[in-house]
Amino acid sequence: MSNLVKCERIFIPMNDNNSHWYLCVVDFAKRFIYILDSLQSRTSEGIRTKNVKTVVTGLDKLLSFLEKDKYIDNITRYKFKTPISNPQQNNGYDCGMYVIKHMFTNTSNRHLPLLESWSERLRYKLAASLVLSKNNDQRSRIVEIARNIPLQEYFRSLKD
């Protein structure tokens, strides 16, 4: 048995033709499925909704298999909902950062800022948090190497 039945939400990063990332959030508490897409368009909306439905159907089958009698829900019946605040990217390359930011803000209950300049700073902060994570078994080695790099002061300033 798994603990999936205790989850409030499941985040599923989705990829569209190896060119665009968007996020599917299955919210068990509210019984909704959200599609968070930073590059929305009428032409892509239908195919992305179809792809999410396919993944949700597979997830429903997986939950039924893993949870057996504990899983009495049917997430394929959840309604699709678009969040009120769904920031849009202003370039062709930040979709992955939006997915990461959406996942972070949804788990920390923080607001996703609508700043155009946050992307590059977020990239550095994400890299720093991954490197400095206590779960990173290469942390000590990377920090030791970084001590010999002249840009260490710059990266330290990004930690805040």
CA distances from 82 to 64, 110, 112, 124 (A): 26, 18, 15, 29
List the chain domain ranges.
4-89
* Whole-angstrom distance, CA of residue 48 vs CA of residue 15: 9
pLDDT value of residue 26: 93
pLDDT (tens place) for every residue of the chain, 160 residues total? 466 667 889 999 999 888 899 999 999 989 999 999 888 877 788 889 999 999 999 999 988 888 777 777 889 999 998 776 677 777 778 888 888 888 877 654 555 454 445 566 777 777 778 788 888 888 888 888 777 776 656 666 666 5
| SS3 readout for the chain | CCCHHHCCEEEEEEEECCCEEEEEEEECCCCEEEEECCCCCHHHHHHHHHHHHHHHHHHHHHHHHHHHHHCCCCHHHCEEECCCCCCCCCCCCCHHHHHHHHHHHHHHCCCCCCCCCHHHHHHHHHHHHHHHCCCCCCHHHHHHHHHCCCCHHHHHHHCC
- Domain boundaries 4-89, corresponding CATH code: 3.40.395.10
pLDDT value of residue 25: 93
pLDDT value of residue 1: 45
pLDDT value of residue 119: 64
pLDDT value of residue 95: 85
